Amino acid sequence: MKNILITGGAGFIGSHVIRLFVNKYPDYTVVNLDKLTYAGNLENLKDVENAPNYVFEKGDIVDEAFVFALFEKYAFDGVIHLAAESHVDRSIANPMEFIHTNVIGTVNLLNAAKTHWKDSSDKRFYHISTDEVYGSLGEEGLFTEETAYDPRSPYSAAKAGSDHFVRAWFHTYKLPVVISNCSNNYGPNQFPEKLLPLFINNIIHNKPLPVYGKGENVRDWLYVIDHVHAIDLVYHKGMVGETYNIGGHNEWKNIDLIRLLCKIMDIKLGREPGTSEKLITYVKDRAGHDMRYAIDASKIQEELGWVPSLQFAEGLDKTIDWYLDNPEWIKNVTSGEYQNYYREQYENR
């Protein structure tokens, strides 16, 4: 029996990680720690909420006393740390919130693990990060695990800071850590402030599709379920002290992806070709907008045998269908109804 703490487990990526671990490892007690902010939604986990090996704890990783008490209560054998503020636009508007959660929260978890893991030979602290810590690429080249950090936004700077602290606890205190840096995730249950769910929802309701600058920024897209399988591998088989880049081998200019999305949505919604593309509206570019991200994922492929399972066309089709099939989820999550319900439920228990 092992007790595993997964932070941010009610969020987009975290909920898929929770589901995999609960179902795949019945001998693990999986503890989901989430603050239930706007992007944390326990409705994402309705299918596993009554599983005998699943526990939910509402709390904030910035609260040091709470984090230490949680480690005391469950005697965790491992941590998979996903909890983070993650939206670049929000970080530009409110950087301090990102510093508190992404940096201070991570250090609280590191200190709790260091304090409670007297014998850490069979323990693992897995910190999940982003490719944005590497900065911006030109037209050529890929991010490798050796690429120097060059964050350009408050979000990526906060994530870079947390990465450095994780490595410092490994080198200074011998805490058994592993880090991964992933590219843009997409798929079911993503809060509709990110590009794909936002634009899918806007197309459904004939709202403008705001495109930064000329839409020429390039991103590497990774289907969330593929990422979750990579997380499973890194947690169980990754080398302590190592970093693994996880990417989709799937670069798209924003504007090309948006036009493809528009064409597919017109077909699925039975609209005249070109209808959705007319919704594209070019807006002032984001401050400090990185031009291109692209991941070299050869290390995780060679060492752990991971490769993305889905071609992008299939992953995009599955994603669009999920949002079309779950209009109530979009409605409720954007209105905050789910969050309000679960906050009240756990505050009053």
Catalytic positions are 131-132, 155
Query: DSSP secondary structure string, 124-173?
Result: EEEEEEEGGGG----SS--B-TTPPP---SHHHHHHHHHHHHHHHHHHHH
With H, G, I as helix, E, B as strand and everything else as coil, classify residue 37.
coil
Which distant-in-sequence residues (6+ apart) come within 8 Å of 270 by Cβ? none
Which distant-in-sequence residues (6+ apart) come within 8 Å of 347 by Cβ? 58
Whole-angstrom distance, CA of residue 89 vs CA of residue 68: 32
Residue 30: Cβ within 10 Å count: 26
Whole-angstrom distance, CA of residue 314 vs CA of residue 142: 24
Whole-angstrom distance, CA of residue 134 vs CA of residue 143: 7
Residue 98: Cβ within 10 Å count: 25
Whole-angstrom distance, CA of residue 238 vs CA of residue 227: 14
Residue 188: Cβ within 10 Å count: 20
Query: DSSP secondary structure string, 69-102?
Result: HHHHHH--SEEEE------HHHHHH-HHHHIIII
Structure tokens at 39: 């992007």
How many alpha carbons lie under 13 Å from residue 319 in its C-beta half-sphere?
Answer: 29
* Under 8 Å between Cβ of 85 and 48: no
CA distances from 332 to 13, 29, 121, 157, 340 (A): 19, 30, 44, 32, 10
DSSP 42: G
